[in-house]
């Protein structure tokens, strides 16, 4: 299942009375998604410069954050 679908499903199950306003679910989901994106990017290692590793880069962490961002965008399924 894709993260955007999971988020909208959670919003729909909530007690928030949004079901009567078209697009309200997406309006609630957008800032949550942007908050998660900012949080993930804040934990990303600095990008390497000039094609070489300058001590602060962590390719495994970067790869994980890239995968999580793809899930966040709905480009790949959330891993079970």
Residue-by-residue pLDDT tens, the chain, 80 positions: 899 999 988 888 887 665 667 787 788 889 999 999 999 999 988 864 444 444 557 889 999 999 999 999 999 999 87
Residue-level pLDDT at 19: 62
Q: How crowded is the C-beta side of 41, counted as CA atoms within 13 Å? A: 9
What's the rounded Cα separation, in Å, for the pair 65 and 57? 13
Residue-level pLDDT at 45: 85
Instruction: Specify the pTM.
Output: 0.72
Residue-level pLDDT at 35: 93
| Domain extent listing, the chain | 1-14+26-45+58-80
Contact at 8 Å (CB) between 78 and 68?
no
């Amino acid at each position: 299942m894709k993260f955007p679908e999971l988020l909208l499903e959670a919003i729909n199950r909530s007690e928030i009375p949004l079901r009567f306003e078209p697009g309200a679910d997406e309006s609630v989901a957008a800032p949550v998604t942007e908050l998660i994106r900012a949080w993930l990017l804040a934990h990303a290692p600095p990008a390497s410069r000039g094609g070489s590793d300058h001590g602060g880069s962590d390719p495994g962490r970067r790869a994980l954050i890239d995968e999580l961002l793809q899930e966040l965008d709905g480009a790949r399924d959330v891993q079970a």
